[in-house]
Amino acid sequence: MRAGHWVRRNLFSTPFNSALTLLILYGLYLALPPLINWAIINADWIGASREDCTSGGACWVFIGMRLNQFLYGFYPAEEQWRVNLGFSLLALLLVPLTIKGFRHKRPLALALVLGYPAIAYLLFHGGVPGLPLVQTHQWGGLMLTLVLAVVGIVLALPFGVLLALGRRSKMPIIRAGCITYIEIWRGVPLITVLFMASVMLPLFFPGEVTVDKLLRAMIGIVLFQSAYMAEVVRGGLQAIPKGQYEAAEALGLGYWRSMRLVILPQALRLVIPGIVNTFIALFKDTTLVLIIGLFDLLGIIQQAFTDPNWLGYAVEGYVFAALVYWIFCFGMSRYSQTLEQELNRGTSR
Amino acid sequence: MKPQPAADKTSSRQLPTWLGWLSRSGQRPSHWLNWRDPQVRALVFQALFVVGVGALLADIVANTLANMESRGISTGFGFLSSEAGFGILQTLIPYSETSSFGRTFVVGLLNTLLVSVLGIALATLLGFVIGIARLSTNWLLARLASVYIEVFRNIPLLLQIFFWYFAVLQALPSPRDSLSLGEAVFLNLRGLYLPRPLPEAGFDWVMAALALGILASIALRVWSRRRQARTGQLFPLLPAALGLIVGLPTLVFVLAGAPLGWELPVLRGFNFRGGITMIPELAALLLALSIYTAAFIAEIVRAGIQSVDGGQTEAAEALGLRHGQILRLIVIPQALRVIIPPLTSQYLNLLKNSSLATAIGYPDLVNVFAGTTLNQTGQAVEVIAMTMAVYLTISLLISLFMNWYNARSALNAR
């Protein structure tokens, strides 16, 4: 009896464990059936208004009716193909990067960091022949969340690399400058950075320059995130054996060439899991922009159930939002764990 | 042998010594104009860096001053002494609408510290329990712990705060139909009401006994350490300390005739009066902060315990140590070395994340100062700078303390 053996070993090994198992089973018996009843069995799935929610369970009709807004914000319906195209392009660029054994990762990564943002901006914002202008205050929902997260990571990465190099530089003034920058941004909450970006940034620019609200939030996020990124990259730089630096020097490579050709490729490879983790943190942190009045996914859901037509469906809204964020974050954390294992396999003999 | 070229010493372009500190190798650059000399390049780069950053900052300052003048915003910290004119939901020190903005700042700061301290305590407790549960031999318990971790870690904190505040606490009954526990603790949508302890005459003796107990326990610890170092004998410190810290005050409390009364919350009109009130904003924030942070602490604790080599436990068993002793003397001290640095970052994160309070209106520093005060005075630069400086100072102080503690308990490798 294999199963019996397993149960005895893992659930009833000692009297204490047996009691614990029974207690947990009782707790699950109390909690799970009502939950499943509410979320699935008694839930309303089809309909067009709150009158269709009659069975007492969750009202998923609300999510269904508002789904378009949750995904695109107030982006005009006839232009939404642009958003779809933009993110499909991103996925298309990202997929080969995650495939093991794909040869041309470096040019692809460069295209992603340098070329993609410009194309995406033109697509989403428009204002060029053939693409009508869609102003940033119409952006919202999951689309805005993704835009903020992708812009945050793509811009924070190069700044983070520079800051990390500066922090490990032998030049004392540059080192002190980078350390100060990193410690200041890491020591304050993102909210205060966003407040700063939204109320102080306009004061920093010459009077006639107006900075878009979304752009201000992005600047705040990038300033903040690059400090975290710098620390991740520093970890990678520290992990490179001294011999590598010396070997690069012995080949006659100058500082920038030895960094570009020898050190950074190895260091960045080492910290990919750390970068993914920073990205997860950033992805969750994008929700804070709702405090300065941008409608990201959470913001637009929050707004949806204060609509008099849908008052009282807060739980459904939060469950849906939680599910979306959870799928993204859990997926990425699993990916970073696989990467970590793969990298370990490569380096351990 | 050829004589050393004396150019360096006699050159009219000889450079001052302090430049050596600024150049990369610590050596003095040999020649001003030699671009190939790495030291010269280091000096030039740094000069450019200083000029660049300085120009940027100067430009920002000039723009800011010009903008503030054109918008009629006053500068300076004079606003701190003028009347605030707004009320605050919860204050730890006396405060009224006639108090100054300076006092508002202190009230907000104290509220931030209150929620951070409570949150850190709760999150640490919950995190350790779940981290240990994750390693349990009971499959069900271990699974449940990892489900907890994966669920709460991967959902944005702000969403969790909103969930507790808008979805759970708003669904509680009205004060009239409060959930109650023995007519002393009440929970309703206005908050959580607890009885307030009222010390009577003679309670001072209990506090004195508590202080004495703590002091005696510290002395006992020092003595038992010395004795162990001298003779190798272990002293049952934990039961002795418990007796001193809990037993002694309890004894005095009983002997003094239980000099402690309780002020119970009572329903009067539409709400409860008396007792200690925990406003729903604080409750929601505390719940979300500790549940979220506990998920991260649990993983840190798990990694810490797993980092202790199994051979250590076996060796301790071979020495004849009992299970509890192994845990207390061998495993936990070694695990703590791995646990403490990341635990510090989690404490700092919790402190910084407490600023999300502003989203549900808990009157923390960001809410009452960077929010209301800024709106009323318009002095963005001063207000934001003060707010950031507070967090920065607390963060740096906590890291300093934890680094000190970490260095003290770190492994002394030979």
Q: Do A288 and B158 touch (CB under 8 A)?
A: yes
Facing residue for A321 by CB, picked from B24, B159, B348? B159
Q: Do A288 and B22 touch (CB under 8 A)?
A: no
- Is B353 exposed, middle or buried (CB count within 10 Å of its CB: 0-12, 13-18, 19+)? buried
User: The tokens 């997260």 sit on which residue?
Assistant: A149
What H or E segment, with its residue span, contains residue A63?
A: helix A60-72
Complete DSSP assignment for B233-247 = ----HHHHHHIIIII
CB proximity list for B253: less than 8 A, separation 6 or greater: B206, B209, B259, B260
pLDDT of residue B10: 44
Q: Do B155 and A184 touch (CB under 8 A)?
A: no
Residues of B numbered 311-340 whose beta carbons fall under 8 angstroms of chain A's beta carbons: which are they? none
pLDDT of residue A3: 81
What is the b/e burial string over B372-388, where b = at least 16 CB atoms within 10 angstroms of the residue's CB? bbbebbebbbbbbebbb
pLDDT of residue A120: 87
pLDDT of residue B156: 96
Residue bearing the bigger pLDDT, B414 or B151: B151
Q: What is residue B379's DSSP assignment?
A: -
A64 vs A32: CA distance, rounded Å: 25
B150 vs A253: CA distance, rounded Å: 46
- pLDDT of B151 > 90? The answer is yes
B312 vs B289: CA distance, rounded Å: 35
Over residues A223-273, the pLDDT tens digits come to: 999 999 999 999 899 888 889 989 998 998 888 888 888 888 888 888 888
Q: What is residue B122's DSSP assignment?
A: H
Name residue B90's amino acid: Q
Over residues A294-338, the pLDDT tens digits come to: 999 999 998 888 888 888 888 889 999 999 999 999 999 998 888
Distance of CA A95 to the CA centre of its chain: 17
- Expressed in angstroms, the distance from the first to the final Cα of chain A is 39
Facing residue for A284 by CB, picked from B53, B138, B157? B157
Q: Do B42 and A170 touch (CB under 8 A)?
A: yes
Q: What is the mean pLDDT of chain B?
A: 85
Q: At CB < 8 A and 24+ separation, what contacts does A253-259 make?
A: A259/A165
ipTM: 0.91
Facing residue for A318 by CB, picked from B21, B151, B159? B159
pLDDT confidence band for B214 (50 / 70 / 90): very high
Distance of CA A337 to the CA centre of its chain: 16
B18 touches chain A (CB under 8 A): no
pLDDT of residue A256: 86
Bridge partner list, A131: A128
Mean pLDDT of A119-125: 88
Q: Alpha helices, DSSP H only, in B17-165? A: 18-22, 38-70, 101-134, 139-153, 157-162
- pLDDT of B27 > 80? The answer is no
The nearest CA of chain B is from the CA of A132 a distance in Å of 34
pLDDT of residue B261: 80
What H or E segment, with its residue span, contains residue B267?
A: strand B266-268
Are residues A123 and A82 in contact, defined by beta-carbon separation less than 8 angstroms? yes
Are residues B263 and B198 in contact, defined by beta-carbon separation less than 8 angstroms? yes
CB proximity list for B222: less than 8 A, separation 6 or greater: none
Mean pLDDT of B296-325: 90
pLDDT confidence band for B278 (50 / 70 / 90): confident
pLDDT of residue B293: 96
pLDDT of residue B340: 86
Angle between helices A314-347 and A60-72 (to 10 degrees): 60
What CA dihedral angle connects B253, B257, B258 and B263, to 10 degrees? -150
- pLDDT of B358 > 70? The answer is yes
The nearest CA of chain A is from the CA of B149 a distance in Å of 11
**Residue B291 to residues A321, B104, B144, B155, B160, Cα–Cα distance (Å):** 18, 29, 15, 11, 9
Query: Token pair of B103, please?
Result: 């006092």
The nearest CA of chain B is from the CA of A33 a distance in Å of 17
Which residues in chain B have their CB less than 8 angstroms from residue A203's CB? 63-64, 67-68, 380-381
pLDDT of residue A311: 82
What is the b/e burial string over A293-326, where b = at least 16 CB atoms within 10 angstroms of the residue's CB? ebbbbbbbbbebbeeeebeebbbbbbbbbbebbb
- Expressed in angstroms, the distance from the first to the final Cα of chain B is 45
Facing residue for A191 by CB, picked from B136, B151, B356? B356
Which residues in chain B have their CB less than 8 angstroms from residue A184's CB? 388, 392
Least confident of B62-76, B110-124, B136-150, B292-306: B62-76
Among A2, A23, A25, A8, smallest CA distance to B137 is for A8
Among A143, A134, A188, A306, smallest CA distance to B112 is for A188
**Residue B55 to residues B48, B50, B62, B382, Cα–Cα distance (Å):** 10, 8, 10, 22
Least confident of A52-66, A183-197, B101-115: A52-66
- pLDDT of A349 > 50? The answer is no
B208 vs B202: CA distance, rounded Å: 10
Among A178, A288, A186, smallest CA distance to B395 is for A186
Least confident of A40-49, A284-293, B3-12: B3-12
pLDDT of residue B6: 46
Longest dimension (CA), chain B: 104
Residues of A numbered 140-199 whose beta carbons fall under 8 angstroms of chain B's beta carbons: which are they? 170-174, 177, 183-184, 186-192, 195-196, 199
- pLDDT of B8 > 50? The answer is no
Bridge partner list, B188: B191
